[in-house]
Structure formats: structure tokens, C-alpha cells
Structure 1
Amino acid sequence: MNDQWASQRINELERKLRAYERLIEQLPFPFTFVDYENGVTIEKKRGAVQPHLAFIPPIPQKEVEWRWDIDLYRDVPFEKLEAFLTPLLDLVPHHIVFVDERGIITLCNLQAAADTGVDRDAIIGKHIRELLKLPDELIATIHSLEKREPLYNYEVLDRFYGIVNTRFIYNDDGSIKRVISVFQSLNMMKETEKLAVAGRIAAGIAHEIRNPLTTVRGYLQLLKHDLPDRMASLVERLLIPELDRANGIITDFLNIAKPADVKMETFHLHRFLREDVGILLQSEALLHHVNVHFDLDGQLDDYEMNGDRRQLLQVFLNLFHNAIEAKVNKTMNVTIRSRKRPHLVQLSFCDDGPGIPPSVIGHIFDPFFSTKETGTGLGLSLSKKIVELHRGTMKVQSSPAGTCFMIEFPLHNRPPFFSP
């Protein structure tokens, strides 16, 4: 019985020892392990399968020594490295895309996916042309790959205006493992410059026009009592409202050009959407034959966010007015959705109207840009500004089947830096 037990025990120890040996053989990086108490050193060099084992004089009670030399490019599968880097690169506000030697995307950060309007997970494994929707000859990364030359501050002048830099990672045999492409958009810089100009113009308008308008309005209020009924009615129903309208345009423009005071409060998101936004839109919806639907994510039922309710109500009212002004002769459906995304709360305002023509969709957030004869072109500009004051982003997607405005806020929204 003892011989059988001993034989079984020896067999288990041999299997365990062989498992340890195979584990060491599979380790992809070089290392040195010194067990002073047992007097054994194990060393494995890069590229070797079998480790070198040596015996040294034992030193009782001395701690083991463990040294390794991991080369991330050579010892770790690059796919694992990309998976590790992805959440870090998602924090970068530039486009970062990795492609292999065939131009196939292996990594795409969130900013690149969001700005090109694709699903980040779905675009992995596709050719970079499917991300950028451009012919190969216009894609700087492909040009760099074909020439096998990195790009340094290469200026891109197509719809993605900005600067591209590319770098290569090589395999041991000299073939290209990855092309890392970083695109820095300059559109934001252009937008900042436009807003700075708008701010200077707005200051001049406020000074040069608002005061005379106020003076004229005041005198009209006084004079209308001394005018015949017909003229008094003209002043009351036409002239004064037109002056008020002009003054309102100036006020909206000033709100775009400079940060407004944000009166922060904590409120229940879904209650705000159902009650505040719903009640505000419902009365106008009945007048314009519009059906308003809510599709709210149950994961956000208890979510509370910080914001200025009045200003956020103005955003949804502006979007609603924009939808009904584009309405054709049919009942329109408007859907307000909420979705919980990784680190984000996504709100969308979608209609099934005629859509925005591709030729103008890139300008709809520009101040004073409007395709309507009576529009001021300030509603969407102001809405985008309000969202940005709440640390959010606002984007649009449109097709002949309808238009969808997407608003995203950080999941744990905090007050803006300049709020009181």
C-alpha cells in the first residue's frame, strides 16, 4: 500500500515538475530567477525555449530575486498591447488609428469613430477607406504605407482639415507590423477663431444698435397715444414687435459669442425629459400635427445630472422648432431618446422629416446660417453653445428619412468651471 502511494506521489510530482518546465518554456520574455534558500538559479534568454539552470551555495532565509526584461513589441502579442492602449487613447481628443501592412484597421479611438460617424467596434477589421470614406489616393495613411515613409505634420485639406503624423512599428524581419496614424483636427481652431470674430462683432452691434433701438422703442410707446387709431395700431402690432425681434436677435448672438451664466441645479434626467420637455413640446406639437415619442433607457431611470434646466429646455425647444420648420405636408414623428454609454449619457432628438441636404449639413451650427427665408440662423448655434457650456457635445446625422441630433454629456456630470 505504501509503495503504491509513493509511486502515485512520485508521478504527481513529476507531472507538476513537467508543468512548471512547460510554463517556463512558454514565457515569451527573458528573465532571471534566483532561489537563494534552495541554491538554484534559472535564467532564460530572449528567443530561447529551454532555460539555463545552475546551482549555487544556499543562503538560508534570503529572499528570492526575480528580474525580467519585457520588450512590449517583441514579447507581448501586439493585439494585447492594442487592447491595453485603447481605453487610454479614447481619452485623446485627436483621431488615432492603427492599421496593418494591408491598411486594415486594428485600433480606432473613440474620437476618430465619433467624428466619422461609425461604430468603433464594427470598423475594426475593415480597411481604413471604409472609416474615412475616401479613395485610397486621398488617404494620407495609405500614402505613408505605400511609400514606407512616415509623415511629419502633413497637412490635410479635404473635409477632415488638419495635420496628420504617421509612425511605423516593424516586425523582426523588417516588415511593417503597424502604421500608427494621428490626425489633429484644426476645425476647432477655426471655430474658435470664428467665435472670437463673432464676439468682437457682437460687442460692436450691442453698443451701436441696441441703444438706438431702445430709444426708438421708447419714443414709439409715447407717441402711439397721440397718433390716430390706425397709426397707433401699426406701431403696436408691427413696429414695436419688429424692434423687439431685432433686439432678440442681438441677445441670441451675444449668448453665442460669450459664455452665459449657467445656474446649476441637480435634477432627475428622465423626469425632466418627460415632464418639462414633454409638456413644453406637447402643446406646440398639437398645433403642428407632430407626434412626440419618448424612448428612455431604463439604466438611467434614477440618474440625476447637473445643469441649467432653463437653458437645456431652450435646446430642445430650438431643435423642435427647427424640425417643424422643415416639416412637409404630413404628420411628423419626433422621438427623444436616452441611452447610457460607457462614460456618457447620450440624448438624441430625431425626426422623420425630409432631412438636411448634404451640401449644407456642415454649416448648420454656423451663426446666421439658415436655409429658411425667415430664419435668423442662431437657434442651432445657440443650442450647441449651451450644450458645450454643460461640458457636452452636439452632433447631427441626416438622410432623406430624417434628421437626428445627438447630445452627449459625461456620465457623472460636474458643474462648469465658471459656474458660481
Structure 2
Amino acid sequence: MDTMTTLQNKVQDLEQEIQFYQDLVRELPISFHYEHPKLGKKAVKCKTIEISNIEPSNKPTVLTMDWKLEEEIQYVETFLQPILDMVPHHIMFINRNGLITLMNTQVAQDYQINRNDYIGKHARELLKIKDESIIVLETLKTGEPIVNKEVFDKNYGIMNTHVIRSAEGEIQRVIGIFHFLNVIKSAEKQALAGRIAAGIAHEIRNPLTTVRGFLQLLQPRMDEEISELFSSLLIPEIDRANTIIKDFLQIAKPSDSSLETIEISEFIKNYLGNFLHSEALLHNFDLEFVIDPLAEGKLFVGDKEKLFSVFLNLFQNSKQAMTKGKLSIQILASYANNCLQIYFKDNGPGIPKEIVTHVFDPFFTTKDEGTGLGLSISRKIIENHGGSLTISSIEDGTQFMIELPTVIKKS
């Protein structure tokens, strides 16, 4: 093969390679500017590719996205959606009009919404606060990103924003990333409750026991009217105060547990079911147990008596809240992500949205009688089992969800 033929083949190969890269760039679903200072070339892709000479410079090679077409941004958002769904923080995109174009799963879960219902709506419709308090709108207005801004409202956390601009500098998207810290805040409250409880136990419980002892000692020496006052009021009130302190201590610190490996169906249908079936007959309410086939046979480690007390508390709350109509309780068990999910549903009046976030707070109660510690204790018991207890309002009542990690039976 002569030199001329070899040279022609090399030129043909180079032409084919150039054609390959040009076709590749044309197929890319985004616009961009690309500058190569050493070669003195740039590529600009909008609808076509433009290659032109530029003045060489010492600047590093830069590739920047030119967000000119809305469908190009939507393509990238579609690509990013499943990735952002794995992030355990709130992530939301808004466009230049403040309309939501993307939100990840964590946002939908924490706000208890169907995210498809809010895509295309203004951010204020999701956040339910004034525009001047919405941080992504602040960035949209100023064009300046916000770094680690602490947010003090019912959704406490740290907020960051980022801006995506076109090549001409116009804002195309504002991204809001919210690090939700309510769980940490709740843990701090629990720790504080523990320190308070320890103080209460030491400073009040012992004096109460002493006072009760003296009342019992004095009771036989009193006339009948005062003795009756001791029996019917003073001593019972001291006992009630001691019970409150005992209950409060259960929130503050874990007590000794009798742990065993438990099969979910046996626990719900037999251990828990024996009691609830009797209550259903006694108080005339409907009771239903549903065990998903995926949950059948699954094992978890727990203290039966303490877990029973959780369901007993949920049952008592449902019974007391049902002021009219026939009570109906449904307990469902499912399995997902190596956890058992046990749902306790009733058909009661439900819990107003403005107080549902406080039901696990110690001493919070809407009842004339009661300490407001039942749900706090229940959540602490579940957390001591390595699980979680959450509440949500449903269309026709209230639903609690208990999540417990499963274990594998040793052979």
C-alpha cells in the first residue's frame, strides 16, 4: 500500500470520527456551550451545532448547560426523580413562576400528600405559609442562594437553596433542600423529659410516700367524717400522683424487659386477640384482624406484656373518643423493608390537624381526666424495641402505625 493510500485512509478515519462526535452531540437532549481554549474552538448547541474559532485563553475547559428549552429541564428532572427519592431530606424544585416542578418522596411522606396533586401548583399551596416566609421564593426573588438557614416553625430544620440559570443568566429553577430536624428535636425533648423525671422521682416521690404513711397512721384516730375524707380523697390523690410519676419514668428511661422471639400472627390473633375479642363482646364493637401473606410467619423480638400495653392504650383511646355510633377497630399487619408494619385503625371522629403533631407530647391531653402520658409511654416502648410509632388522620377515623424490625429464626 503506497503512502498516498495510507494518508487517504487516515483522513477518512478522521472524518468518520468527527462525523461520529457531531452526530453524538446532535442527539444529546440538552443545549450547552463548550469552549476548548487550547484548540481555540467552541461548540454551541441549541437546535444545531455551531463550531467556530475563538481567541485562545488560559481559562480552564468549561462545560456549562444552556437551559433554553423547558422540555430539556423536564427531561433532567425526570432523570433525577428516582435518585432524589432516595434522599432522606426534603427536595423541591420550583420554576421562575414559583410553581413546583419536582418534589422527592420525603416531602410527600412528611406532608402526607400525593405529590402528583401538587406538581404544577404554587409552593404556597404545599407549605401553607405566607410567600414572604417561603425561602425558595426568597431566592427566586433575590437570585441569591441561601446556605444553612435555620427554620423555626412546626417543621424545624436547616434550609439551603440553589439556583439553576440559563446561559443568559435567567433563573430557570430554584432548588430547595430542607434538612428536617423534628426527629432530633423530639429526641432532645425526650432527653430533657428524662432529666426532669429523675428529679421528680427523687424530690417528690419519697415525700409523697411519707405523707401517705402518716395519713394512714392518723386515720384511726380521726372522727368518722375526717377518716372518710382520708380514704376517699387524700390517700387516693397521693396514689394518683405516684402513678403519674411512675408513668413519667417509663418515658424517661427504659425499664427491664422480658424479651423473646415472637411470631406476628400468634401475637396479634392469639395473645392480643384473646383480650380484644372479649372486649368486643363486652362493649359491642366490631373487630377485624388482617395479616398480609408477606407478613405471615415473620418474627420479631419483643416484650409481649409491654407491647400489649401499647395496643391496650390505643384501644382505650379509641373507645373513649367514640361518643356516638358503633366503634369499629381494624388491626392489619404487613411487611416491607425488613420491618413489620402494624396498623391500628378506628372509625372514630379523628384528631384535628392542629393538635395531631402534639399527641405524643408528655401531659398533652384533650380529656377532662387522664395524665396525657399514654401515647408518650407507648411510643417510648416501641422505640425501645427498635421501632417507631406514628399517627395519621384517615378519611373516617384515626390510624396508628407501629413499625418493628424483623429477625431471622436461628436454625
What TM-score does the superposition give when structure 1 sets the normalisation length?
A: 0.70
Overall identity of the aligned pairs, in %: 44
- Say if 1:118 and 1:131, in contact at 8 Å, map to a contact too: no
Paired residue for 1:336? Answer: 331
State which of 143, 155, 176 in structure 1 corresponds to 2:171: 176
Mapping for residues 17-416 of structure 1, pairs under 5 Å: 24=24, 28=28, 77-79=75-77, 81-89=79-87, 92=88, 94-120=89-115, 123-124=118-119, 126-215=121-210, 242-341=237-336, 345-398=340-393, 401-409=396-404, 412=406
Aligned partner of 1:254: which letter? L
CA distance in 1, matches of 2:339, 2:127: 24
Superposition deviation, residue 180 in structure 1: 1.8
Partner of 2:69: none
More deviation, 275-284/369-378: 275-284
Deviations along 1:39-77, whole A, 9 cap, x unmatched?
Answer: xxxxxx966789x9xxxxxxxxxxxxxxxx997968995
2:163 counterpart SS class: strand
Question: In structure 1, what residue type is equivalent to 2:80?
Answer: E
Write out per-residue CA displacement over residues 114-154 of structure 1, whole angstroms, 9 at most, x where no aligned residue: 22111356555554334323454442222322332222333
**What is the letter of the counterpart of residue 286 of structure 1?**
L
Inter-CA distance 325–224: structure 2 relative to 1 (3 Å threshold) = same
More deviation, 300-309/225-234: 225-234
Amino acid at match of 1:109: N
Q: Note the C-alpha offset of 1:326.
A: 1.5
8 A Cα contact 2:77 2:102, kept in partner: no
Q: Indicate the SS of the match to 1:310.
A: helix
Instruction: State the 1:215 CA deviation.
Output: 4.4
Q: Deviations over 1:144-174 (max 9, x none)?
A: 2233222233343443233321111234443
- In 2 relative to 1, CA 107–388 (structure 1 residues): closer, same or farther, beyond 3 Å? farther
TM-align CA RMSD? 4.3
Further displaced range: 178-187 or 118-127: 118-127
Taking the aligned partners of 1:289 and 1:73, their CA distance within structure 2 comes to 67
The CA distance in 2 between the partners of 1:173 and 1:307, in whole Å, is 61
C-alpha separation in 2, matches of 1:261 and 1:111: 35
CA distance in 1, matches of 2:123, 2:407: 34
The change in CA–CA distance for 1:399 and 1:124 in structure 2 (over 3 A counts) is: same
Say which SS state the counterpart of residue 374 (structure 1) adopts: coil
- CA deviation string 1:10-32 (max 9, x = no partner): xxxxxxx9xx89985666499xx
1:356/1:400 contact within 8 Å kept: no
Tell me whether 234-243 or 380-389 shows the greater mean CA deviation.
234-243
Q: Tell me the CA shift for residue 195 of structure 1.
A: 2.8
Contact 1:72 1:81 in 2 (8 A): no
TM-score, normalised to structure 2, is: 0.72
Count of residue pairs the alignment pairs up: 364
In the alignment, structure 2 segments of 5+ residues that lack a partner are: 1-16, 33-41, 52-60, 67-71
Structure 1: give runs of 5+ residues left out of the alignment: 1-16, 31-44, 53-68, 415-420
> Cα–Cα, structure 1 residues 84 and 373, in superposed 2: closer, same or farther, change >3 Å?
closer
